Amino acid sequence: MNNLSSTAARGRRIAVCPGSFDPVTLGHLDIMQRASQLFDRVIVLVSVNPKKSPSFTPEERVEMIKRTAGHLKNIEVETFDGLLADFVRQKKATAIVKGLRAVTDFEYEFQMALANKKLCPEAETVFLVTRSENMYLSSSVVKQIASFGGDISGFVPPQIKDFIASRLCVRE
């Protein structure tokens, strides 16, 4: 079976890649890119994490992702303020893709994966292990560096670096 006919036989594989993306980092982009190679369609979902107070509006976060992941043709970006499991079912997705950095991520992600499996048994959570150079990288690290006027060019895509810095830097 060639690639095209095997994809047709399986149906289109849709994955949801959820997160706060406040803001999107090079680590997130790497996961999106790799997910785009594994699935036919990837919906990047800017979602609500009740434990976090975001610095950027959902619209700003969507715009930053579109500006940096726009070259990935099978990726779309949406927002949703409900349960991830409901969104996944609504989109008929079969996978939830998350990046896993360190052991510290694991317990929380494991709990979420189990809850989502209970709520939406038809979808699997797929963890992509982060590249070693992104192990330490997180949106909160980016925000902290930017707020002190530090250089964030090694952490976020160049297209959105100035926007993030101008929004977060509180020092002259």
Of the candidates 52, 67, 92, 140, the residue annotated as catalytic is 52
47 is catalytic: no
Q: Is residue 58 close enough to count as binding ligand PNS by CB under 6 A?
A: no
Greatest extent of the chain over all pairs of C-alpha atoms, in Å: 61
Q: Is residue 134 close enough to count as binding ligand PNS by CB under 6 A?
A: no
CB of 119 to ligand PNS, least distance (A): 7
Q: Which sign, positive or negative, has the C-alpha torsion 5, 124, 56, 48?
A: positive
CA-to-CA distance for 58 and 19, rounded, in angstroms?
Answer: 11
CB of 150 to ligand PNS, least distance (A): 22
CA-to-CA distance for 23 and 65, rounded, in angstroms?
Answer: 9
By C-alpha distance, which of 15, 81, 17 is closest to 54?
A: 81
Among 25, 36, 47, 94, binds ligand PNS (CB under 6 A): 47
Instruction: Map the footprint of ligand PNS across residues 79-98, applying CB under 6 A.
Output: 83-84
Q: How many CB atoms lie within 10 A of CB 161?
A: 18
Contacts of 142 (CB under 8 A, 6+ apart): 23, 25, 152, 155, 156, 164
Cβ proximity to ligand PNS, 18 vs 157, nearer residue: 18
| Contact window for ligand PNS (CB under 6 A) among 41-49, 57-65, 140-148, 158-166 | 41-49
71 is catalytic: no
Contacts of 20 (CB under 8 A, 6+ apart): 46, 47, 48, 49, 52, 54, 61, 139
Among 49, 144, 153, 159, binds ligand PNS (CB under 6 A): 49
Q: Is residue 115 close enough to count as binding ligand PNS by CB under 6 A?
A: yes
Cβ proximity to ligand PNS, 19 vs 146, nearer residue: 19
Quickly tell me which residue has 């043709």 as its tokens.
73
For ligand PNS, the binding residues (CB under 6 A) are 18-20, 47-49, 52, 83-84, 112, 115-116
Residues taking part in catalysis: 28, 52, 101, 139
